[in-house]
Every structure is written in C-alpha cells, then in structure tokens.
Structure 1
C-alpha cells in the first residue's frame, strides 16, 4: 500500500486528472444515455405471487387510483354535484394512459357512494385505471379544478400515490456539520475539507456509474439515495482515518511523501479491510432472495468501492498537493522554525497527555471493568428492547404526515368507506368444475361474517376457470388486524371452503403481497444475521489471530445492530418522534430497512473494532501486559473514533429529514447505532470485557496458527523516533507533542509513559 500511496503522491496531477476525466466521462454517458431505474417486482414464492401468475401478465400492467370528493351542505348525489363531477371524470377519461373510469353514479354500482349527509359521510369516489404512461399531475389538476368551499376533491390510491423527494437542504446541513467537527478536530481548514472532498467525489462518481449501470442491472430509483447515504458516511470516515495518520507522520518528522506512504501502509490498509467487509455484507443481501434488495445492495457496494478507491488514490494526491497545509498554523510555525524543541516542553506535553480525558477514561474502564460492562449492557438492553415488538410491513396513507395530500385523501375515504378501502384483498380462485363454483359461492356467502371483513364482492370471471373475489378489510393495510385477517383466511376460512371440492383459492393483491414479503424477510433475516456475524468473526480471526477477540467483536456487532433496530422501532413504529421528522405517524417498518441496517452497521462496527483492537494488539505484542494494552488502545483511538462517530451522526441523521420514510428510518437508525457503537460498545463494553477475560483473550490454538493465513491490516508505521532529550530536526521536522497532535506517542515510548 505504501508503494501505491507514494506513487499517487509523486504523480499527483496524473491522479487528479484521471479522477476528473473519469467523472467527466461518466457525466457524458449519463447525459447521453440517461438512467433506466425500475422497480423490480421480484416476489417471493408465496400465495400472492401465485395469484398474480393466475391472473396473467396483464395484471401488473395497470394500476388503479381513486378520485374522491366530499360535499358540505348538499347531497353528494345531487344533480348539481353529479353534473360537475361527471364532466370532470369525462376529462380524466380522455387523458392518455387512462384506460377506464368507474363512476359511482352508474346505476348498477352504488357501492362507491356514501350519501349520509347527517353524519358528515357525504362522500363518493371513482376508480381510475391507468397505465405507466399516464401523467399523474394532469389527473390531479383536472380533479381539483372543481374544488370549492362546498366541494373537496382529493386523489389517492396506488396509482396516484405522491412521490416523496429527498430534502437536499438537510443533507447539505449534515455535511456542513461534519465539516465543523473536522475543523474542531484538526484546526486546519484544508485538513477538515479533505475528508469531505474525497467522500463527495467518491459518491458522485459512484452514483454516476450506478446510473449508467441501471441500463444493465435492474435497480430501483431508491438505489441512488441509499448509495449517497451510505457512501457519504463511510467515505468521510475512511478519509478521516488516513488524514489523521498522515498528520501524525508529519508531526513525527516525516516528509510529505513519506507521510503519505506511512498513512497508506497503515490506515490505508485498514480502510481497504473495512471497505471490503461493508461490500461483502451488502452483497450478501442476495440470501434474502428479493431483487429490489439485491439491487440496492449492489448499488451501495459500488458506492463503498468508489469511496475506498478515492481514499487510497485521490486522497494521497491531494495530500501531496497541500503539503504541510494539512497542519494547523501553530504546527506549521514549529515546523518552519526547525532548530531545537526543549525537552521540558516535550515533558509538559507528555504530562498533559497522561491527564487527557481519553487516557483518564481508559484508566477508569480498566480499573473497574465489571461495573462498566454491566452499565454498558444495561444501556444496550434498554435501547434494544423495542426490537422485540418490531413489525415489518408497509406504511399506508393513514400514517402519512398530517396535511399531506395522501393523508387528506385517507381522511375523506375512511369515515365513509372504512379504513381498509385501499387494502382490498384479491381472492383468485381456480374453479375447474361446477362443484368448485358452488364451493366458491358458499365461501363468498360466508366471508361477510369473518371478523374484520367490511365488504365482499361477487365472483368475477378472470379467465378460463378462474374467478376473482374482492374482500375489503375493516382496517387499513398497515394495521395488525389486516395481517391477522390474511393469515386467518389462508389458515382456516379458505381450507374449510375448499374441503371436498377441486376449488383452489389464493389470497393476493397489494396488501397480501406486502404481508408475504414481510413474512419472507423475517424468515430469512436470521440467516443473514448469522452470515454477517460469521463473516465478521472469520475476518477478525485472520486479523488478530485470536478466538476470544473476534467472538467479543461479533457479539458486540450484533448488539449494535439490535440497538439500531430497536431505536427505529420506537421512533417510526411506535411514533416516538416520527412526526417531528416529517414522515407522519407510527407505522410498520419497511422490509428494506432491517436488511440495510444489518449490512451497513456490520461494516461500520467492524471498522471501529479493527481500529481499536489493532492498537491494543500492537501494544500487547510490545509489552505482553493486557491491562496496559487495553488502556493504551482506548486512550489513543478514542478521539478519532469519537470524531468519526459524530461525523457519521451528522451525515446519517441529516437523511432523517429527507421526507422519505424509508430513507429517514435508515438514516436515523444508522446515526443512533453508530453513536452507541462508538461511545458505549467500543469505548466501554469491549475494553471492559477484554480486561475481565485477561491475557487469554489473545490466545490462539497452535493448530490454527499453522493453517491460518496471515493478514496484516496495518503495516508498520515507520514512525520517526524522537530523541528522549530533545528533537533536533532538519526543516520540516518537529516533535509531535508540543504541536498539539491528536493522538499520543506510540510503541514503547507510549508504554513507558503509561506505566510511569
């Protein structure tokens, strides 16, 4: 890695030109080709999927939306209202992409009209069947053109669901907050800007690449938002570690090129290792067996790969261009002064270092490990408890933000037609003979008596030997009662009706599909968790040649994931603050969210674990003193890990205000999980457990030693060792301590100081 880093530093303008050229080429391809994002309807093997198959390919080629109107002071079926609405519906029917409009004023279908003026349910609606070519905005404009003080009109349903857009401003605020944190850490504008620049360039290039790749691989449009969320967070973090190590090398007396090489050979290796773990976890989403998640995982993995590439190539080139400007002004003045730094100054710095908060905290954790471990476990358990009640599903209009068009649509529809009016279940029945037709008729007559069934339509022919029955629940699609109804129909009601006949009935429709997807995910999520935990364990075994250290790491990673899922359950499912984030009331957690949280947090937790334990391992190799190794490891990595976590908090939490429920869930869940992982798991629980286990934590079986390949996460730092008395340096070198660097001395010097 040092060879690559030094090459990039020496050929900095070639590297910068290559990156600029690559971005320009990708922009040209996107401008010329555009993108081809599409939602992948890759359903799991389920009843709803089989129902779609029976209905044929035309079942998914159209969607149905609704236009609903409510009158005040006059009957909804009055001649005046009829005339206005009929003209409006005729205009909608003439639009391109509109296949059919079913009016409630048709003599044979009064079910779409609730003319109960005295109860305030003076409402009616029309079903509008459309294709992908329809202009939804035009439909909405025509529908609302007849609104008045006495007539309110809204559109909703699957076809007219509003498209939420990312906030943009919130994300920019998150990046600015991260820049401020970096400024406070580095005291140098250029050093603070480098992680932001590197992360943004990596993300921009990757997203352009993903847009081009959407012509080859099935990707949903949400892949762009997910990629930017994950890429910005990890990209800034990765660059932070390299910049921090580069500054240490400069302060220890290395030249700019040497410092770049040392940073690449140490933090650069760790960045590659961490990036590969994130990529592996994201690509492992294929075990869930859902195309939309697999596509998102692939897009996010590409983004992480680009951010890693930017960190190990673009960043060294930028560091070479900037030279010593990545140091603070005080540090540069000391470097320019050359000459001699008195030993007393260095001694005072070392005393301040020993009294630093990080070192004091490390001493506390190692002195009383049992109480600290218990305290950390209590905090983690309290934050993770809500995950036990997590429900996976899809939010509906009933939980949309108050005042939004979709919420107003729901508030018009539900009082008049019930909360489940948009949660219709489609019962697709195979009726090969007369006996099965009679069995279906008997089932239709029994369904109104089933709890939570609001209405049932008569059977409609849908092909040779296939009939369709529509069942409207009393509760909304996101309600637990609707889930129970689907399971009750499949487990009890329908099997009883099928008995003794050739009738086969399958429960389908959008609501049933969402339930099937959620059930399939929850059945495969344990496999995914086991896969990422096992992968983390094996990678840490290779890195540290220990059994107990990887075990502690794997278990603590699972604890962090549980905290993230528990936090978003409380906020977004229970509704403890979701309205403040602009995404509405509590609702089930989308099936995308748990998988993304597991994949991303696994990689980030591994990143912090490697950064922390590798420093402990280095000190253990020098001193064979476990308590001292843990103390030094925590003291010398705490500030960087804490800074990285705060940056992640800024970036991830900014996506919480995106206005998109799924993106907000993932952003807030990751933000809280990262903070807890850094400050509770890595700074308290892990060192406390390692201290309690003792020296045997570093033990490794001899047979495993012989068969395990060696993996060097961090190469030798090649640091310039200052003289104990004073540092005499040529121009460009200075003792690190009086310059106020961020991390203390390393190696034996640090060990001796710590023991003193």
Structure 2
C-alpha cells in the first residue's frame, strides 16, 4: 500500500499539494478563531467526591465569585486616599451583579497590613451569574478600583487568575510558535543545504497545525476546547511534522544516491515502503500514547488528548502524502546530501555512530553506567510535590499573582482555607464524631457551621500548614476514613481526589499504552525482546526527566537561568502529560532506528552475535544523522515554548527539551547499542513454535 502511495504522490502531486493548500488556507483564515472560542476546562473528574460535594454546597448555599484588590503604596490613613477609596467602594456597590463589598474604609473589615500602607478589598459577585457574566462584572469592578487615588491598586482573585491562565497560555503558544518557526527555518535551511529543501518540513508543519486548528474550531461549537489544547497542537504539530519530513527526505536522498538511474516514481515508492512504514508505525505509537490520556476521564487531560490525537493523525497524513508530493515537485532542488547527513559517508563518523561504536566495545560497563546515571537523575522524584497550579504559576509580573502573594503574606494572618466537611446526620448526633475530628493530627480548629438541611451538617476543619499541603491532604484522608457518611471538599480534597483518580486509572492507561505500542513494535521488528527493551528505556528517560524537573521547578535549581520564580511544586498534570509526550516521542526515535536496524538484520545471512552488532551499527550509522537533525529541530521547538511565562507550559517545554537531549544522545547513542550488543541474537527472539520449541526468528523463516 505504501509503495503504491509513493507512486501516487508523483502522479497526483499537484492535486495533493492543492488539497493541502486549501485546507491550510482555511485553517489560517478560520482556525485562528479557536483562540477566542477556547475556554478553561476543569482539571478534576466531574464524578470526584470533592466536585460533587462542592456542587451540592453551591446549590444549598450559593456563593459568588470573589474579586480581591490590594490598595498599596500609601499610608492607609491618608485623607485624600480615604476619600477616594470610600467613593469608589460605594460606586462598586451600585454595579449590577455585585453582592457585597468588604473593605477597611466603608465596612470596617480592618484588613490592613502591619506597615499601614496596604489594605484589602473583597468584592463578592452574585452567585447566579454565569462565568462570562461574572467576568464582565469583575472587569467593571477592576476598572473602578483602578481609579482609586493610590500609587498602586492590584486586582486579582481566582476568577481573574483563571482567565489570566488561559490568556497567558495562548500568548505563550503564539510567542513559542513564532520563535520556534523562525529559528527552525534558519536551522533547516542551513542543515538541508538550501531554501527549498529547508522549506519542505516547515510546509508540512504549517499545514498540520492549520488543519488541526480548523478542526478544533469546528469542535469548539459542539464541545469545550481547552486553551491548553492549542499549546499541545503547536508543540506536537511542529515537532512531529518536521521529524517525519526529515525522515522521508533523508531516505529519498539515500535511495536516489544508491540508484541514480531509477525513475522518480520508483524512488518515492521505495522511500515510502521503508521510511513511510516507520512514519506510520511512529504515528500510531504516538497517537496511542495520547489516547491513553482519555482513560483518566479528566476533562483537561481529555481536551489535550483530543488536540494531540488530531495533530498526530494529520502530521502522519502530511508525512505520507504532502511531503512526497512536495519532493516530487522540488526533487531537482533537493541536494544529494546535506552537511549533517553527508558526515556519515566521510572518514569521521557521525555523533551517534561514534557513541554506538564506543558502547559496543564495552557494552556491560556502558549499560550499567548509563542506567545508574539515569536513576541518579530520577532520584529527586522521590521528594516530588504535586499540586494544582494556582496564581503562583503565573508570571511574576501578573497582577493576579501579585495579589495572591500579598494576600498570603500580609492578610492571611496564619489563616488557612478550611476543609469543608458535610455529614448526612443531625448535629446533635455528631458529638462523638466531632470529638474524633478534633483529635486528628493536623486539625488546628474544628468549627460546626450549620445544618445544611434537616439531615445534613456542615463542619469546617482548619488544617495545619497550607490549604493543600501534605498535612492537609493527609487530614482529608483521615477525615474520610472516620465514617462513610463523611464527605470532604476544598483545595486539599480536590488534590487528593486528583491524585487518587490518577493512581486508580494509571495501571489501565499503562496497560493500554504499553500493550498497543508493544504490539506495534512487534509488528515492525517481529521480535518480543526489542519492544520490552524499548519500553524499559522509555521509562528510564521519563523518570530521569521528571527528576530533573523536580530539581528545577520544585527546588529552584537554575530557576533564574530559566526566568521564573519556583512555587515549590510541579503541576499535578505535568507528569502525566510528560509521560505521554516523552513516551510517544521516544517511540518516534525508537521506530526510526529499529526500522533501519531491522532492514540491516534481514540482509544478514548469519544470526551470530557479530551479525547483530553489525546490523545495529549499520542501522544507527544510516539513521543517526537524521535523528540528530530531527532532535535538534524538535529541541528548538520545545525551547521556544520554554521561553513562555506560564510555569505549567514552561515545565512541559523544558521537560521535553531535557527528554529529547537524554533520549537521542545517552539512550539511543549509548544504552540501546550496549543492551542490544549484550543480548546479541536474543534481540530477535520470538515465539515461533515448531514441535513445541521456540526458535530464533531467522531459524523460523
């Protein structure tokens, strides 16, 4: 099928290019509206206990969104400041949609900082407002607050911080994409040796992104589309499209160099029958990894999985159709080789060839040293603190973040948001249970609020430490263990539910991803051992990357270098997203290498240990330069997003850059050839039963 597709790409090249051009044009015109139609998506399953309980509390005792403001930079008792602030507070109370205003000037809240140069204003909006209506009222409130005659008025709160997250995510995506495309364009032109050749991968990337955004725009009318899905589309779209394009172009150059008399249709047929198969298997592997996110039934992860699955499908389709068609049109302008790939033919071998040769000379020592090194890098993961991102993960200059930090420092006075507990029983029957709650370690205060209904009682328990810290999380677990009728909500309960949901569904997701990718690698290599080895290597890459991220983003190592202020945790979704991205992209390079190694192995007449080593080295020598180039290209993409200001996006960008660096050099260059050399002909073992005996692959053929 792929062979015929290669010939079809020559015959219908202009039709294929025109079709993609029309789709890309529509995506460029209409796809951009997805940025306006994208919305915030909950990061917790709708059936989680804390979510259900919070909805119940909102129905029984609805509370509106809060807008927080800090008036700072001037003595609180200044007469003109007091007059200005008082006038504005009464004007805010008159705004339709405002339920209550609590301030130190007109309501006597006494929320004043110790140095008397800051005061806190809390504006509660009406609970019946929808989110868009609440944001509109919040904007009116913010505009009024900014008219106060004070050196600085900062306005924030959860509602505005949530919107800032979305806006910053889209801004980071736009900046990251622009930087990545410009730098990538220059790099590809230099590496591929010409403007036309360098433009082919970029054309595929742009077509992939534009078409995916067009589909997401259509979906936004029928279902919520997350702002973060746009980031996923941009990162994966550029990275995968460039990877697949480079693989196809490099193989076409090799086929043309090997047989200069062959006709163009035959050259592209051979190209797609080999590298096209690798692209197809890689696309299926990456798509399967992303599909595994749906298992978690998390709205945010599902939104990212949807965007990612779409872009993988389209990147694969572009690699198998658009890129061959572009090659068919511009093949005379594509150099016979390029500066990176030509190095494989010179006396000085390419980087991966040198690393593989070194590893094969001393496989046991290299395998042990690399494995130990990756485990050392993963050690910080043992102290990882996962938490839901709040305003602290916004840029330091963000108004919402500054309000959050000032409120925590100046106005919390040791107060911590309590754990809200609901017990379906009357208050007069709960004294023994309440005493048990007071005796729990980490419970600093237990306050019986009210009877929610005739048969339900609300209790607020203040935890030690922070509202969602480790002590608060443990307290939630102990509270829930007291009695099946006890339900808990609040920041700590939400985090506990998120972690428990992930832990419960992680084995299923792992089984889906590992089984599917294992079967794909078996179909590619006809080996049982190689897929198992590949899965173990991918897990090592993931663990090492996450360990480094803990050191950077939680401990703050190198935070100033990367331009952010650490907030003491990783976002709870980061490990899952990186697992999928790293697993998928590691499989990408694994497929590129193994497909060529399998070709070389099949050419050998012997199945000896030496033949295995020669096949591995020949495969790495043939594909190493293009993998190095692809890694450089995708590294540029990820670094572009690492320059973003949203810490959650920065975590993904830096994490993927680290993963690609480790995977292409240490894992593919050293560990893979070392392990394959140690295993020898066992690499190619598969159960081919004959008379009750399992035999090696070559013997079974």
Q: Would you call these one fold, judging by a TM-score over 0.5?
A: yes
What's 1:483 paired with? 473
Change over 3 Å in CA distance of 1:373–1:705 after alignment to 2: farther
Report 1:133-144 matches (<5 A). 133=133, 134-135=135-136, 136-144=138-146
2:122 to 118, 122, 126: 126
Contact 2:553 2:570 in 1 (8 A): yes
Matches within 5 A, 1:29-40: 35=37, 37=39, 39-40=41-42
Q: Does 1:52 align with 2:54?
A: yes
CA contact (8 A) 1:396 1:476 kept: no
For 1:261, the equivalent position in structure 2 comes to: 269
Q: 1:649 Cα shift? A: 1.0
1:567 to 536, 545, 548: 548
Aligned 1:500-511 pairs, distance under 5 A? 504-511=485-492
Report which stretch shifted further, 305-314 or 518-527.
518-527
Query: Contact conserved, 1:428 with 1:467, CA < 8 A, in 2?
Result: yes
Larger deviation: 638-647 or 422-431?
Answer: 422-431
SS of residue paired to 1:694:
helix
User: Which sits farther off after the overlay, 467-476 or 273-282?
Assistant: 467-476
* Residue of structure 1 equivalent to 2:368: 374
Aligned-pair CA distance for 1:407: 3.4
Match of 2:687 among 701, 706, 721: 701
Correspondence for 1:6: 7
Which of these residues, 593, 600, 603, is aligned with residue 619 of structure 1? 600
Distance 1:265 1:420 in 2: 67
Identify unmatched segments of 5+ residues in structure 1: 332-347, 712-756
Q: Which of 289, 294, 297 is the aligned partner of 1:286? A: 294
Write out per-residue CA displacement over residues 538-571 of structure 1, whole angstroms, 9 at most, x where no aligned residue.
Answer: 2222221222212211111111121222222222
| 2:186 aligned residue (165, 180, 188) | 180
**For residues 680 and 315 of structure 2, what CA distance do their matches in structure 1 show?**
38
Q: Is the 8 A contact 2:296 2:509 kept in 1?
A: yes
1:13-412 paired onto structure 2 within 5 Å: 13-26=14-27, 35=37, 37=39, 39-40=41-42, 43=45, 45-55=47-57, 57=59, 62-70=64-72, 72-75=74-77, 83-96=83-96, 98-104=97-103, 112-115=109-112, 117=114, 123-129=119-125, 131=129, 132=131, 133=133, 134-135=135-136, 136-149=138-151, 152-161=152-161, 162-163=164-165, 164-165=168-169, 166-167=171-172, 168-252=174-258, 253=260, 254-327=262-335, 352-353=346-347, 358-398=352-392, 400-412=394-406
Find the counterpart in structure 1 of residue 637 from structure 2: 651
Between the aligned partners of 2:37 and 2:519, the Cα distance in structure 1 is: 38
Task: State the secondary structure of the residue aligned to 2:100.
Answer: strand
Q: Unmatched 5+ residue regions in structure 2? A: none
The whole-number CA distance in structure 2 between the counterparts of 1:647 and 1:330 is: 15
In structure 1, distance between residues paired with 2:573 and 2:591: 28
Q: Report the 3-state secondary structure (helix = DSSP H, G, I; strand = E; otherwise coil) of the residue aligned with 1:310.
A: helix
For 1:667 and 1:441, how far apart are their aligned partners in 2? 47
Contact 2:293 2:302 in 1 (8 A): yes
Cα deviation per residue 1:332-371 (whole Å; 9 max; x = unaligned)? xxxxxxxxxxxxxxxx999834755554443322222122
In the alignment, which of 516, 536, 540 is matched to residue 555 of structure 1?
536
Tell me the residue number matched to 1:752: none
Distance 1:23 1:705, change over 3 A: farther
| CA distance in structure 2 between the aligned counterparts of 1:457 and 1:652, rounded to whole angstroms | 49
Residues 1:533 and 1:59: Cα distance change in structure 2 (over 3 Å): farther
Matched-pair contact (CA < 8 Å) for 2:612–2:681: yes
Q: Measure the CA separation in 2 of the matches of 1:350 and 1:450.
A: 65
Question: What SS does structure 1 have at the residue aligned with 2:387?
Answer: coil
Structure 1 contact 2–261 (Cα < 8 Å) conserved: yes
Contact 2:352 2:625 in 1 (8 A): yes
Q: Cα 1:349–1:42, aligned 2, differ >3 Å: closer, same or farther?
A: closer
User: What's the TM-score once normalised by structure 1's chain length?
Assistant: 0.80
441 and 675 in structure 1: CA distance in 2 versus 1, 3 angstrom threshold: closer
Going from structure 1 to structure 2, the CA distance change for 1:126 and 1:356 (only over 3 Å counts) comes to: closer
Task: Check conservation: 1:181, 1:643, Cα contact below 8 A.
Answer: no
Q: TM-score, with normalisation over the residues of structure 2?
A: 0.86
Partner of 1:113, secondary structure, is coil
Aligned to 2:449: 459
C-alpha deviation, 1:464, in angstroms = 5.0
For the structure 1 residues 421 and 319, does the alpha-carbon distance in structure 2 shift closer, same or farther, using more than 3 Å as the test? farther
Deviation at 1:106, TM superposition (A): 9.7
| Inter-CA distance 249–106: structure 2 relative to 1 (3 Å threshold) | same
Alignment partners' CA distance in 1, 2:12 and 2:560: 51
What is the root-mean-square deviation of aligned Cα atoms in Å? Answer: 3.6
Q: Which residue number in structure 2 is paired with residue 691 of structure 1?
A: 677
Contact 1:2/1:262 (<8 A) preserved: yes
Deviations 1:586-643, CA, capped at 9 Å, x for gaps: 3322232222211122221222112212222222222231121122122222111111
Alignment of 1:391-540 (within 5 A): 391-398=385-392, 400-418=394-412, 423-431=417-425, 433=426, 435-436=428-429, 446=438, 451=442, 453=444, 459-460=449-450, 462-471=452-461, 473=463, 475-477=465-467, 479-491=469-481, 495=482, 504-540=485-521
Q: Are the aligned partners of 2:21 and 2:207 in contact in 1 as well (CA < 8 Å)?
A: no
SS at match of 1:160: helix
